[in-house]
Amino acid sequence: MKFLALFFFSMLFLTMNTVIAQNGTSDDTTKVQVVPPPQEEVFDVVEKEPTYPGGEEAMQAYIKENIKYPEEAVKNKEQGRVYVKFIIEKDGSVSNVKIARGVSPSLDAEALRVIQAMPKWNPGTQKGKAVRTNVVVPIAFKL
């Protein structure tokens, strides 16, 4: 009789664990972490560097035409060179714009604004295919 009772409780225990495992309900649940798909590699050095449409001179002209010296920076006599780092995507669009080395909050914000508004570039290539590429552009602010 003891053997039968022990056998019955053992089977009940195993059955309960199987049901809990299948249904996923238990007081001691584990959390599932959703992992986003990995992003494609971003290159620092490529066989063919990304280029601004029209070349370096056209980019300097774009920056000169679009930069607006912030009034606060003029009032505080702030000047210097802001280095902006960003990614040129496979389609030539500008993304992930960040300050690599800044001067002041107002000059940094203006440099970010101008870079974010840039038109599409010609993307960098590696082994004949367009790839995501890191770029750093210095923007000089001088009174």
| Cα-to-chain-centroid distance, residue 112 | 15
Extents of the domains making up the chain: 43-141
10 Å CB burial of residue 117 (0-12, 13-18, 19+) is exposed
| Cα-to-chain-centroid distance, residue 61 | 27
Q: What is the pLDDT along the chain (143 residues), one digit of tens a residue?
A: 444 444 444 444 444 444 444 444 445 555 666 666 667 899 999 999 999 999 999 999 999 999 999 999 999 999 999 999 999 999 999 999 999 999 999 999 999 999 999 999 999 999 999 999 999 999 999 99
Select 43-141's CATH number: 3.30.2420.10, 2.40.30.10, 3.40.710.10, 1.10.10.10: 3.30.2420.10
Q: Angle at CA 54, nearest 5°, toward 102 and 52?
A: 40
Can you give the pLDDT at residue 4?
43
